[in-house]
Amino acid sequence: MISLHRNGVLGSAWWRRLGVMTTKEIRQLLRDPILLGFMAFVFTANIYLQGSSVSMQLNRAAMVVLDADHSAQSRELIHRFRPPYFRLDGEIGSAREAIGLLDRGQVMLALDIPPGFGEAIQRGETTAVQLQVDATHPMPAYLATSYAAQIVGQFSLAAALEREGLSIESLDELPTVVNDQRAWFNPNQKDTWFMPISELLEGITLFAILLPAAAMVKEKERGTVEQLLVSPLTPFQIMFPKVLAMTLVILLGASLSLFAILGPVFEVPMRGSLSLFYIVTTLYIFTNAGIGLYIATVARNLAQVGLLSMLVLGPILLLSGLWTPPEAMPVWMRWATLASPMRHFVDLGYGILLKGAGLDVLWDSVLAIALLGVLILALGMRRFRRQFS
Amino acid sequence: MKMRRVLAVAHKEWREIVRDRLFFALAFVVSPALMLIFGYGLSLDVERVPFAIVDQDRSALSRDYAYAFIGSRYFDFKGYAASDRELEPLLEDNTIRAAIIIPPGFHKALRAGRAAQVQTVVDGTIPSRAQTTKGYVAAINGHFSTEMLAQHLSRVRGLSADEARARTQAVRLEVRYLYNQSAKSIWSLAPKLIMLVMIFVSPLLTAVGIVREKETGSIYNIYASTVSRGEFLLGKLAPYVAVAIGNVLVLWLIATLHYGAPFKGAALFFFLASVLFVICTTGIGLLVSLLVRNQLAAVVVTLVATMIPALDYSGFLMPVEAMGAEGSLEARLLPAMYYTNIVVGSFLKGVGLEVLWVDLLVLAGYTVALFVAGYLLFSKRPRA
């Protein structure tokens, strides 16, 4: 009974040991300049680079035109393909030339206007133009098709009204539907608001899994874990300080990105409560640390940790909804995303930082992370205990 | 350079890979596993966008307008909402990504021959998807408008419905997708996944393999032996190159047989180019291993130097031409983009050396530079 009191959860020695171990872990981390340097890189320069240069939008897609008509109408249509979405790379003489340019990847689009295009319009017929799209990149191919369809649609409407003796200005006097489109949360659909948050969430995930796993395996590899085990520390007192130290360092890295990059450089609005963001991030790091510790019990050396983390990180990133939102996945995979802590963290990250949502909307994601965390940490602890006692 | 010594080092390294059963399994399991996982879950197709409708007009015509969206395969109808105020939490929770609001008076305006106003709200969080969704909305709206116009013309001028429809449409756009006829994202992604997986697996194995010797101190055996720098590096790296080549073959089979991606190019050309790429990435692993001192740093540095840039600066998701100046420069500085061109050319476009020789040349130059740097940096008398 006495020993339970002195060394058990109730005693002050218990807390002191936790403190000592946490200090040890922090010192150990701070003595690894390469690792710290790369953490700094991932949380600052990497986010800056990705945010400033990666664009998923159609940006001046190169286009050539094969104009067999050379009428006023064909010229009018061609000149509607303008920056920022399209860039005219001149006219070509034959269809073979177009295929050659597309094969070499020098242009993305080729517009083919048939002979008699202008006359057909004047006669009141429906005529067609053909657009060849390099679909090796499906995303810009979709976007290019969509913008081209809008351009041709508007041209067609204007031409149709004109030949009926009406004008495009009188559209209000005609039974048409005007659809006014607005984008919420990111009104100008800036990639510089989407990408940096995405990179921040990825960075947090990467280090929250990798650091605890590596720290644990390092002790195993060097045999220092035996020293820890013969000490009066419980498995919890060995593992928890590691998680705590990593959490502190990762939160520091995240703060660096938020206040040095996301805010001042990219002007991400950060509409929601930052303290809520910090709380859920801490919770999320704990959950991921559970995954890391589990990896550490399976792996025997750091090389294995590296590969196992990859094997685990791949699905986690994929199921997170960052690259493909859950609604675009097959149904069984959509269900699988619910088991990935990162999926809930992504909902929280964008929900808080971009959408300004609070706990009233996001409580279910927080709950999911907490439940998954308890489950994963319990499993990790059990394996650790079994392995070492 | 004695072949016997190279073989001895290679043999020792191979034994080490094989003996560590988890490492061995991982070396062969990680790539196909990632390929399968990514192949199923990574979709760039924008379809089944979840959306809601606020219909404040509640007329037959407003229902027709709503059904134009509900019936589209691009949209997934989640239900009617009573007012625009209900939309905000639904959008914040990702329950819906778009909403269409039909205000009162829709029916009246159209029947009176005037333009009717509607609003669309799109979740702008994922910009590319928001843009695509807006495009779909504009297309469906345009179609509905033209139909209204045609009905109007047929009433006013007494034309038949078909004639009126032809009159309201002057020009049609026919789209032909090249290289990937149905613009399926898996056809484009599966080949490029070979690049994404191979760019980090072999450098990771290589870097960790060499740094492990440094960390455990077994490298001093090499320092003290008669094995020369070149012999050691060659013997040490050969098994990793072999593992990587095996992986490329497996991934190629998955891409073509499992995902049904077309392979239009020359198999031999693609194989040789892949071997060159694998040697090149092994060289990256070598360089990393010489710059760091512990295995964890080796893992982190390799990932940051290979996988992260390969995801964004290789033409994996977006063409390099669409990037800003910085991104385009970074893409040109790294080997990933050149191999992506080779992969896409060989699979989807069916072009060979006549178009891809530049990429091949750059990769070769890259490889030589990496190995020269590795050779010069590797010293049997390291400063303590």
pLDDT in tens, B66-108: 999 999 989 999 999 999 889 999 999 889 999 999 999 999 9
Inter-chain touch B110–A177, beta carbons under 8 Å = yes
Q: Does A352 contact chain B (CB < 8 Å)?
A: no
On whether both B154 and B189 belong to a single domain, the answer is: no
Region B213-242: mean pLDDT is 87
In the prediction, which pLDDT does B218 show?
84
- B 226-285 → A contacts, CB under 8 A: none
Q: Does B208 contact chain A (CB < 8 Å)?
A: yes
Q: Is residue B61 part of a domain?
A: yes
On whether both B258 and B333 belong to a single domain, the answer is: yes
Inter-chain touch A180–B125, beta carbons under 8 Å = no
B350-363 pLDDT, tens digit each: 888 888 899 999 99
CA B96 to chain centre: 25
In the prediction, which pLDDT does A353 show?
93
Q: Does B159 contact chain A (CB < 8 Å)?
A: no
Size of interface A-B (CB pairs under 8 A): 418
Report the gap between the CA of B4 and the closest CA in chain A (Å): 28
On whether both B339 and B248 belong to a single domain, the answer is: yes
Query: Taking the CB of residue A70, how many other CB atoms lie within 10 A of it?
Result: 12
On the 0-12 / 13-18 / 19+ scale of CB atoms within 10 A, A302 is buried
Smallest Cβ distance to A35: which of B167, B296, B319? B296
Contact between residue A386 and residue A301 where contact means Cβ atoms under 8 Å apart: no
Helices (H), chain A: 2-7, 12-30, 33-43, 45-53, 72-78, 95-103, 117-123, 138-163, 191-222, 224-230, 235-256, 274-298, 302-318, 331-337, 341-353, 359-388
Q: Does A306 contact chain B (CB < 8 Å)?
A: yes
On whether both B353 and B225 belong to a single domain, the answer is: yes
Q: What is the DSSP letter of B183?
A: -
In the prediction, which pLDDT does B37 show?
79
Q: Which residues pair with A131 in a beta bridge?
A: A111, B175
On whether both B69 and B97 belong to a single domain, the answer is: yes
Total structural domains in chain B? 2
B243-287 pLDDT, tens digit each: 899 999 999 999 999 888 889 888 999 999 999 999 999 999 999
Inter-chain touch B113–A210, beta carbons under 8 Å = no
Inter-chain touch A328–B127, beta carbons under 8 Å = no
Give me B73's structure tokens. 């395969």
Q: Is residue B176 part of a domain?
A: no
Inter-chain touch A175–B109, beta carbons under 8 Å = yes
In the prediction, which pLDDT does B384 show?
53
Inter-chain touch B145–A177, beta carbons under 8 Å = yes
Residues of B within 8 A of A128 (CB-CB) are: 171-174
In the prediction, which pLDDT does A279 show?
96
Residue of B nearest to A119 (CA): B170
Return the biggest CA–CA distance within chain A. Answer: 103
Which residue of A181, A188, A210 to mutate against B (max B Cβ within 10 Å)? A181
On whether both B122 and B72 belong to a single domain, the answer is: yes
B149-165 pLDDT, tens digit each: 889 888 888 888 888 88
In the prediction, which pLDDT does B158 show?
82
Inter-chain touch A57–B127, beta carbons under 8 Å = yes
Smallest Cβ distance to A146: which of B135, B141, B169? B135
In the prediction, which pLDDT does A197 show?
94
Q: Is residue B291 part of a domain?
A: yes
Residue B88 structural domain: 49-168
On whether both B154 and B199 belong to a single domain, the answer is: no
Smallest Cβ distance to A152: which of B111, B122, B173? B173
Q: Does A191 contact chain B (CB < 8 Å)?
A: yes
Report the gap between the CA of B359 and the closest CA in chain A (Å): 12
Report the gap between the CA of A375 and the closest CA in chain B (Å): 24
CATH number for the domain harbouring residue B61:
3.40.1710.10
Smallest Cβ distance to A156: which of B141, B171, B209? B171
Which residue of B61, B159, B171 to mutate against A (max A Cβ within 10 Å)? B171
Q: Is residue B175 part of a domain?
A: no
Q: How far is CA B270 from CA A64, B19, B180, B265, B267, in A?
A: 30, 32, 19, 8, 5
Q: Is residue B72 part of a domain?
A: yes
Residues of A within 8 A of B94 (CB-CB) are: 325-326, 347
Q: Does B173 contact chain A (CB < 8 Å)?
A: yes
| φ, ψ dihedrals at B175, nearest 5° | -110, 130
Which are the contacts of A83, defined by CB distance < 8 A and separation ≥ 6?
A: A60
Residue of B nearest to A198 (CA): B126
Residues of A within 8 A of B43 (CB-CB) are: 324, 328-329
Q: Which of B168, B193, B209 delimits the end of a domain?
A: B168
On the 0-12 / 13-18 / 19+ scale of CB atoms within 10 A, B47 is middle
Candidates B206, B218, B224, B228; CA nearest to B5 is B228
pLDDT tens track of chain A, all 389 residues?
A: 444 444 555 568 888 888 888 898 889 888 888 778 888 988 998 899 888 877 777 888 899 999 999 999 999 999 999 988 899 998 998 989 998 888 888 899 999 999 999 999 988 888 999 999 988 888 888 889 989 998 998 899 888 888 887 777 777 788 888 889 999 998 888 888 998 999 999 999 989 998 888 888 888 887 887 787 788 887 778 888 888 999 999 999 999 999 999 999 999 998 899 999 999 999 999 999 989 988 988 888 777 787 788 778 878 888 888 888 888 888 888 888 899 999 999 999 999 999 989 899 899 999 999 999 999 988 888 887 787 66
- Encoded amino acid at B224, one letter: A
Inter-chain touch B312–A171, beta carbons under 8 Å = no
Residue of B nearest to A185 (CA): B124
Helices (H), chain B: 3-19, 21-41, 60-70, 87-92, 106-111, 127-157, 161-168, 185-216, 219-224, 229-253, 267-291, 295-305, 307-312, 325-333, 336-344, 353-377
Inter-chain touch B200–A310, beta carbons under 8 Å = yes
Q: Is residue B93 part of a domain?
A: yes
Residues of B within 8 A of A180 (CB-CB) are: 117-120
On the 0-12 / 13-18 / 19+ scale of CB atoms within 10 A, A316 is buried
Instruction: Give dist(CA A170, CA A167) in Å, integer.
Output: 5
Which are the contacts of A358, defined by CB distance < 8 A and separation ≥ 6?
A: A272, A273, A276
Q: Which of B168, B196, B218 delimits the end of a domain?
A: B168
In the prediction, which pLDDT does B349 show?
86
Q: Is residue B177 part of a domain?
A: no
Contact between residue B198 and residue B277 where contact means Cβ atoms under 8 Å apart: yes
Q: Does B70 contact chain A (CB < 8 Å)?
A: no
Domains delineated in chain A: 2-53+189-388 (no CATH), 61-173 (3.40.1710.10)
Residues of A within 8 A of B38 (CB-CB) are: 314, 318
Q: Is residue B11 part of a domain?
A: yes
B136-145 pLDDT, tens digit each: 999 899 989 9
Return the biggest CA–CA distance within chain B. Answer: 100
Residues of A within 8 A of B47 (CB-CB) are: 328
On whether both B144 and B27 belong to a single domain, the answer is: no
On whether both B56 and B146 belong to a single domain, the answer is: yes
Candidates B183, B172, B121; CA nearest to A135 is B183
**Residue corresponding to tokens 């493909």:** A324
Q: Does A169 contact chain B (CB < 8 Å)?
A: no
Mean pLDDT, chain B, whole residue set: 87
Q: Does B97 contact chain A (CB < 8 Å)?
A: yes
On whether both B243 and B315 belong to a single domain, the answer is: yes
- B 302-361 → A contacts, CB under 8 A: 302-304, 308, 312-313, 315, 317-319, 321-328, 330, 341, 344, 348-349, 351, 355
Smallest Cβ distance to B319: which of A140, A147, A191? A140
- What value of ipTM does the predicted structure carry? 0.84
Q: Which of B114, B144, B168 delimits the end of a domain?
A: B168
Candidates B368, B366, B369, B346; CA nearest to B356 is B346
Report the gap between the CA of B374 and the closest CA in chain A (Å): 19
On whether both B28 and B75 belong to a single domain, the answer is: no
The predicted model scores a pTM of 0.84
On whether both B37 and B85 belong to a single domain, the answer is: no
**Residue corresponding to tokens 């993305």:** A108
- Encoded amino acid at B366, one letter: Y
